[in-house]
A and B are shown apart, each in its own frame.
Chain A
Amino acid sequence: KAGVTQTPRYLIKTRGQQVTLSCSPISGHRSVSWYQQTPGQGLQFLFEYFSETQRNKGNFPGRFSGRQFSNSRSEMNVSTLELGDSALYLCATKAGNSYNEQFFGPGTRLTVL
Chain B
Amino acid sequence: AQTVTQSQPEMSVQEAETVTLSCTYDTSESDYYLFWYKQPPSRQMILVIRQEAYKQQNATENRFSVNFQKAAKSFSLKISDSQLGDAAMYFCAYAEEYGNKLVFGAGTILRVKS
Same complex? yes
Where the two chains meet, the residues of A that have a C-beta atom closer than 8 Å to any C-beta of B are: 31, 33, 35, 42-45, 48, 55-56, 58, 88, 90, 92, 94, 97-102, 104-107
B residues contacting the other copy or chain, number (CB 8 A): 21
List chain A residues, Cβ under 8 A from B75.
none
Closest B residue by C-beta to A45: B101
Q: A94 CA to B95 CA in the complex, in Å?
A: 14
Residues of B with Cβ closer than 8 Å to A? 33, 42-47, 50, 52, 91, 97-107
Q: How many A-B residue pairs have CB under 8 A?
A: 54
Q: How far is the CA of A56 from the CA of B34 in the complex (A)?
A: 19
Supply 21 A–B pairs (Cβ within 8 Å), ascending by A. Answer: A33-B100, A35-B102, A42-B106, A43-B91, A43-B102, A43-B104, A43-B107, A45-B102, A48-B100, A56-B101, A90-B45, A94-B99, A94-B100, A98-B98, A99-B98, A99-B99, A100-B98, A101-B50, A102-B47, A104-B46, A106-B44
Given contacts A42-B106, A42-B107, A43-B91, contact A101 B47 (CB under 8 A): yes
Q: Which 8 pairs from chain A and chain B are nearest by CB?
A: A104-B45, A43-B104, A99-B98, A56-B101, A99-B99, A42-B106, A45-B101, A106-B44
Which residues on A sit within 8 Å (CB–CB) of B107? 42-43
Contact present for A99 and B45 (CB under 8 Å): no
Contact in complex: B47, A33 (CB < 8 Å): no
Distance in angstroms from B37 CB to nearest chain A CB is: 8
Given the interface pairs A42-B107, A43-B104, the reply to whether A100 lies near B44 with Cβ below 8 Å is: no
Chief secondary structure at chain A's binding surface: strand
Report the Cα distance A16→B104, complex, angstroms. Answer: 29
Q: In the assembled complex, which residues on chain A have CB atoms less than 8 Å from the CB atom of B100?
A: 31, 33, 48, 55-56, 94, 102
Contacts of B52 in A (CB 8 A): 99
* A33-B104 in contact (CB<8A): no
Q: Are A104 and B99 in contact (CB under 8 A)?
A: no
Q: Give the distance in Å from the alpha carbon of A112 to the alpha carbon of B33 in the complex.
A: 35
Q: Is the CB of A104 within 8 A of B44?
A: yes
* Distance in angstroms between the alpha carbons of A43 and B46 in the assembled complex: 14
